[in-house]
A = this chain, B = another copy of it.
């Protein structure tokens, strides 16, 4: 009888990242709400220059790992390449750094941090609505960290109110993604392990954003 594949995280310690190299990862799923979703997703994924990140796509999502600037560059590019005028789309992303269960494997850090995908998407801009939440782990003072981060969105003019379990952002697609990169960078300096969950929507049928 096959042994059950139990996981074991007994050696994990809060405040001690499993990766000692500061690997940042983004796992995302694209959901273009149209009959042609397969073409849109595969086309977007294929257009991303992956020379600066480690990448893996499975049946649920795609993950990029490497330098913070590189994984944001690649993820932002994938989302923008998937944009179609008039196609409602959901882009769901998990941004994470410092998990005690992480490992020093599956990453690309040996490169410079130039944003190799930026030029290809600089002309693509569209309005988005976003819900996001920040989870600073292993900390008792986490609500204060969240407060600082949300108030930066206020200062940038993209804060769109709060709801149960979430804060809303509204603005240009680049402005929202650049803010999330700022959050990762700012929180990564202070917190050993954080997760940011963001769901970004474009071409909403409900309202003119």
Cβ-based interface call for A207 (8 A) = yes
Cβ-based interface call for A191 (8 A) = no
Interface string of A1-44 (1 = CB under 8 A from B): 00011111110111100000000010101011111011000000
Q: A6-B154, A60-B129, A143-B9 are in contact. Are A106 and B164 (CB under 8 A)?
A: yes
Interface residues of A (CB under 8 A from B): 4-10, 12-15, 25, 27, 29, 31-35, 37-38, 56, 58-61, 63, 65, 88, 90, 92, 94, 96, 99-102, 106, 129-131, 133, 135, 137-144, 146-147, 150-151, 154-155, 159, 161-168, 195, 197, 199, 201, 204-207, 209
- List 7 contacting pairs A-B, 8 Å CB cutoff, sorted by A: A5-B159, A25-B165, A29-B92, A31-B31, A33-B37, A59-B201, A100-B143
